[in-house]
Amino acid sequence: MARRRDTTRQEQGRAAPAGERWFAELVPGLEAPARAELQRLGARRLEPVADGVRFEAAQPARLVREARLVAAFYLALDFAVPRPKALLGDAAFRRLSEAVARVAGPHGRGTPLSGGPFDGLRLAAAGAGSPVMLRLGEALAGAAGLGFDPEAGELVVRLRPGRRGGWEVLVRLTPRPSSARAWRVCNRAGGLNAVVAAAMNELVGVRPDDRYLNLMCGSGTLLVERALAGPARRLVGVDLDPAAVTCAERNLQAAGAAERCELLAADVAELDAGLGRFDVVVADAPWGDAVGEHDANRRLYPLLLERAAALAAPGARFALLTHEVRLARRLLPAAPGWELVRELQVAHGGHNPLLLLLGRR
């Protein structure tokens, strides 16, 4: 009976008992816009920690559904135990398995909080392969009615030493991280993390009368995220590679945004005034980490900055994500028409590209 009442409360979006703590894993470098988004969506008592932020929320399901700038959401629990083995003790294990059941729902079928079913449970912890961790993982999976799958389990339970002693347990609320968007039906090598794309759009500003141009759009991550963030006067994506344009088209279709966007297979160098003027330009330029690409980028980057300026309306904003940190820093002071507003170093797939926010002079 108690369980049924809980489910009903969750469905009404009033799930969280007072004082319950949640954890949002954030992309390093993008903490500030992500924290602002969390507060806008109702998170309270934010407490920044090394790789994210802890918070309270009356409607955590709303946060999970609507936040675009968070890498993953977790239910957070602190255990005053000296080592993980003690989590197998009666009281600690009961509390832990109740938390897992709250996220997983009956037999891992999911809850309004998770938004979907889970296939298997895994532990993510230093020493996850040790006998104690394996016992704990198996016991938790059994209590939740799930299989224990140390490699690919979708219900992720993270264990790590607590900040004030003891152990912290984080139960991921969704079967996949939030950056794995439902709209992504096509991916390409070098595809941008959707959380980084959403943050780039947020930092450069989302206004309903913007004419928005995504140069070198690849699979369309920036364009899709911008279309989903709100109305715009125009939304245009351009890529040299027709296969990239087809891929972006598929993702836009899946996002239900294809009809609002224009896609063009073209070389940035050849874009001219015929395309129109834009209030926002964004680009995630070629990485240049393969031999030979650096040379191509030395020719491409000046052209990119020059063409972006030519297509930019007065007062336009330009967000450029680049792995060519030294090249971009060298070119920027002499770049025609652009002044540096802000720069951020962002973590992306083991790299630390530079996010440049530029303003049209």
Ligand X SMILES: C[S@@+](CC[C@H](N)C(=O)[O-])C[C@H]1O[C@@H](n2cnc3c(N)ncnc32)[C@H](O)[C@@H]1O
How many helices (H) and strands (E) would you count in the chain?
Answer: 10, 14
142 or 336: CB nearest ligand X: 336
In the complex, the smallest distance separating the C-beta of residue 307 from ligand X, rounded to whole angstroms, is 9
Q: Is 143 in the site for ligand X (CB under 6 A)?
A: no
Smaller CB distance to ligand X: residue 73 or 287?
287
Q: In what side-by-side order are the strands of the sheet with 278-284?
A: 262-265, 234-239, 211-215, 278-284, 312-322, 354-360, 338-345
The CB-of-321 to ligand X minimum distance in angstroms stands at: 8
User: Residues 55, 73, 148, 287: which binds ligand X (CB under 6 A)?
Assistant: 287
User: Which of residues 244, 328, 335, 354 is near ligand X by CB under 6 A?
Assistant: 244
In 8-154, at which residue ranges do the beta strands (DSSP E only) sit?
Answer: 21-25, 44-49, 52-56, 72-79, 121-124
294 binds ligand X (CB under 6 A): no
239 contacts ligand X (rule: CB under 6 A): yes
Give the integer Cα–Cα distance in Å for 294 and 290: 7
Q: Which residue, 174 or 219, is less far from ligand X as judged by CB?
A: 219
> Could you tell me the smallest distance in angstroms from the CB atom of residue 263 to ligand X?
12
Least distance from ligand X to the Cβ atom of residue 189, Å: 8
Least separation in angstroms between CB 251 and ligand X: 9
Query: Which of 144, 224 has the CB closer to ligand X?
Result: 224
Q: Where are the beta strands (DSSP E) in the chain?
A: 21-25, 44-49, 52-56, 72-79, 121-124, 155-161, 167-172, 211-215, 234-239, 262-265, 278-284, 312-322, 338-345, 354-360
Strand order in the sheet with 121-124: 44-49, 52-56, 21-25, 72-79, 167-172, 155-161, 121-124
Please tell me whether residue 188 binds ligand X under the rule CB under 6 A.
Answer: yes
- Is residue 228 part of the contact set for ligand X (CB under 6 A)? no
Residues 256-285 within binding reach of ligand X (CB under 6 A): 267-269, 284
Considering only residues 295 to 314 of the shown chain, the ones binding ligand X according to CB under 6 A are: 300
- Say how many C-beta atoms besides its own lie within 10 A of residue 269's C-beta: 12
* Nearer of residues 25 and 324 to ligand X, judged by Cβ: 324
Residue 221 as a binder of ligand X (CB under 6 A): the answer is yes
202 touching ligand X, by CB under 6 A: no
Q: Output 141 or 192, the one with its CB closest to ligand X.
A: 192
- Per-residue DSSP letter, 165: B
| End-to-end CA gap in the chain | 65
CA distance 122 to 141: 8
**One-letter amino acid identity for 205?**
G
Q: In the numeric block, which tokens belong to residue 342? A: 């802000």
Distance from C-alpha of 304 to C-alpha of 297, rounded to nearest angstrom: 10
- Select 113 or 186, whichever has its Cβ closest to ligand X: 186
Number of residues this chain uses to bind ligand X (CB under 6 A): 20
Q: Which residues make up the interface to ligand X (CB under 6 A)?
A: 188, 190-192, 216, 218-219, 221-222, 239-241, 244, 267-269, 284, 286-287, 300
